[in-house]
Amino acid sequence: MNWYLQNGKDSDVVISSRVRISRNINKYPFTTKCTKEQLREIVDEMKGVTEALGYGLKFVDLREVDYITKISLVEKHIIDPEIAMDKKTNGAILVNDEENICIMVNDKDHIKLQAFSAGQNLESLLDLLTEIDEKLGELVTYSYSKQFGFLTVSPAEVGTAMKASVRIHLPALTLTGNIDRILNIVNNFGMSINGAYEDDTQNQSNIYQISNGQSLGLTEKEIVKNLKSITEKVIDQERLARKFLTKQPIELEDRVYRAYGILRFATRLSYEECKKLLSDVKLGTDLGIIKELDDSKINKLMLYTRPGNLQKHLGKQLDGYERNVKRAEVIKQILND
């Protein structure tokens, strides 16, 4: 089972963890200065080291990937929208079958190493990515400065060039009116917290992404330690808010079961409405109110109701109205499975 359909530590609040490391190959200029021929040379060089790198990685040239598949990968947070939408098609990925390891080629930097996991698992991801980074560093020569560390397109990422993040579900803090206070506290600790999905501008899913805001002057382990500490504090606050909500059981049960009822019986559902309903249903399931569901079904619902993965799951391209109808059908199939 792929990582995004699994559960991990603190999965009642933490959806997933990700660690990224950006690298550039020293014989080429940054991607912003590369010619088209140089970008293709970088792709070819990474294709050439794929087998030697191991980890079950397979080379995928994004020129050969259809639009829906690219969108489905973006929705899983496996690739960035920029590389997916690159009309020059100079990008590629190295990815394993479980999709918990993905190396993007010619995103903003030449190489972006990534490891993913369900729940809170930052330390293990760092260990895995450090191992991959060291092995890849023996196959290609990185751009590195003794003074500044690893060199990247973004000055903010110079140093370790590492970005660690967690996606976290905070419905109770939103319902109790405490979400803005928590967001300010996290930002004041030097972390960045934003809505986790670009297509969820009003954050109806109540899912946020917390990530480190600094890489220069800190070691990889210090970045992970700081992020883990902040995340644990946010988890504690969310669980306290959930405990407060349970003091009004009728109101809470009514809210989550209304959401569950719409999901189960609606014949047409927009993605916008579905995000809000799923947030309430996940809350009800995690609190043990909705006993008809389990975490496995929640994960499937959260994945296969998104536009790209809905179409990928059904194996065909659909217009907006068709997606809304098929979304309701797929929800029923998952609930009745």
* Mean residue pLDDT across the chain: 92
Determine the number of helices (DSSP H) and then strands (DSSP E) in the chain.
12, 10
Mean pLDDT value across residues 140-157: 85
CATH code of the region 3-242: 3.30.590.10
Residue 274, Cβ density class (10 Å: 0-12 exposed, 13-18 middle, ≥19 buried): buried
pLDDT of residue 88: 61
- SS3 category, 146: coil
Q: Which residues contact 260 (CB under 8 A, 6 or more apart)?
A: 280, 281, 284, 290, 292, 293
Is residue 199's pLDDT more than 70? no
- What is the Cα gyration radius of the chain? 21
Beta bridge partners of 163: 20
Name the packing angle between helices 249-265 and 271-286 (round to 10°): 130
How far apart (Å, rounded) are the C-alpha atoms in residues 208 and 167? 6
How far apart (Å, rounded) are the C-alpha atoms in residues 65 and 201? 27
pLDDT of residue 194: 85
Question: pLDDT tier at 308 (50, 70, 90 boundaries)?
Answer: very high
Mean pLDDT value across residues 2-21: 94
Give this prediction's pTM.
Answer: 0.91
Question: pLDDT tier at 87 (50, 70, 90 boundaries)?
Answer: low
Is residue 20's pLDDT more than 90? yes
Residue 223, Cβ density class (10 Å: 0-12 exposed, 13-18 middle, ≥19 buried): buried
Share of the chain above pLDDT 90, in %: 77
Is residue 130's pLDDT more than 80? yes
How far apart (Å, rounded) are the C-alpha atoms in residues 319 and 321? 6
22 or 82, which is more confident? 22
Is residue 198's pLDDT more than 80? no
pLDDT of residue 191: 87
Is residue 203's pLDDT more than 90? no
For the ranges 1-5, 195-199, 235-239, 272-276, the lowest mean pLDDT is seen at 195-199
Question: pLDDT tier at 68 (50, 70, 90 boundaries)?
Answer: very high
For the ranges 28-37, 147-156, 234-243, the lowest mean pLDDT is seen at 147-156
pLDDT of residue 74: 94
Give Cα 49 to chain centroid, integer Å.
26
131 or 216, which is more confident? 131
Kindly report, residue by residue over 209-258, the tens digit of the pLDDT.
Answer: 999 877 667 889 999 999 999 999 999 999 999 999 999 999 999 999 99
Q: How many CA atoms lie within 13 A of 290 on its CB side?
A: 27
Is residue 131's pLDDT more than 90? yes
Is residue 118's pLDDT more than 90? yes
Q: Are residues 118 and 7 in contact, defined by beta-carbon separation less than 8 angstroms?
A: yes
Mean pLDDT value across residues 299-327: 96
Mean pLDDT value across residues 269-282: 96
Mean pLDDT value across residues 157-175: 91
Q: Are residues 155 and 194 in contact, defined by beta-carbon separation less than 8 angstroms?
A: no
How far apart (Å, rounded) are the C-alpha atoms in residues 134 and 320? 45
For the ranges 73-87, 189-203, 301-315, the lowest mean pLDDT is seen at 189-203
For the ranges 62-66, 146-150, 276-280, the lowest mean pLDDT is seen at 146-150
Which run of H or E residues covers position 92?
strand 92-95
